[in-house]
Amino acid sequence: MKIQRDPRRDAHEPHRFHQVAVVGKYSAAVSPSAVAASRAVLEDISAFLEKHHCEVVLEHDSAQATGMSDYPALSLATIGQQCDLVLVVGGDGTMLGVGRQLAQYGVPLIGINQGRLGFITDIPLASYRETLVPMLAGHYEEDHRSLMHAQVMRDGQCVFDALAMNDVVVNRGATSGMVELRVEVDGHFVSNQRADGLIIASPTGSTAYSLSAGGPLLHPSIPGWVLVPIAPHTLSNRPIVLADAAEIAIELVAGRDASANFDMQSLASLLHGDRIIVRRSQHHVRFLHPKGWSYFDTLRKKLHWNAGES
């Protein structure tokens, strides 16, 4: 019998996790050697969890991609409904996709970094064993991240609906010129901007595309978003921080082949007059970190601050 997670349990109460799901990084385009390496990692982590008295399940696509059949394979929706914890093995892109789908269930996530940067998959693969032992016993820091709920409206009808943890980005076409965008906040006109595009980033996404475009870093505890123009025609169009309780509307006024991207993982093609409406989602993603974890430690490590100091 599967152990059901009690939704009434205090999220901050230390406890031992019972049923733990493992999600891997997978792609249909990877080489056989990469698949074998991924399988070896997932088998090692699963065996470790069993040794620590956890009932292990695999996410269905991860099991299928690696050919693992020793553990039950469940969909993410079923994992969200019945598991106590989810271990995501991969990079931040993997975590973004999993986090969006599991946010509605309130299940906590731990990220084991098998990618590159690892802002939200912060446990190095090489040291996961010693890091997870106290966490599985209930000794961890909990970190909640907000989500954006975005809709593309066309002639009064919603033609695309998506969640985003990092950002919502309106981009010009690859071979076209600038786009012109009308920006409103809570129904108030802000400006018409001519630029290569516009980014609405959460605090989590402030270390991603927004940072590359000149936006500020936002601490995860700040209930805000940052609106960042991409290569604006008018240099006085600067990034602005907004309360995440606001509703932001972006209307495509002019420009060819424009699109809206959500965490750079889903895309909607835009027509003139389309409006992208962005609101705060009612759901949050729950991350667990090792005891003593600090957001500033992550920034210092990942952005190589003080790299020249001894």
Residue of 10, 44, 70, 92 marked catalytic: 92
Looking at residue 107, its amino acid is V
Rounding to the nearest 10 degrees, give the CA dihedral for residues 3, 8, 11, 17.
-10
CA distance 162 to 140: 31
Name residue 279's beta-bridge partners.
149
- Please state, in angstroms and rounded to a whole number, the distance separating the CA atoms of residues 306 and 295: 16
DSSP code at position 211: H
Identity of the residue numbered 143: D
Catalytic-residue membership of 155: no
122 Cβ contact list (under 8 Å, min separation 6)? 111, 113, 289, 293, 298
Each as own residue / partner, the long-range contacts of residues 73-79 (CB below 8 Å, 24 or more positions apart, any chain) are 74/21, 76/23, 76/101, 76/102, 77/101, 79/21, 79/23, 79/107
Residue 94 contacts by C-beta under 8 Å, 6 or more apart in sequence? Answer: 23, 24, 25, 88, 115, 121
| Total Cβ atoms within 10 A of residue 227 | 24
Q: Could you list the active site residues?
A: 92
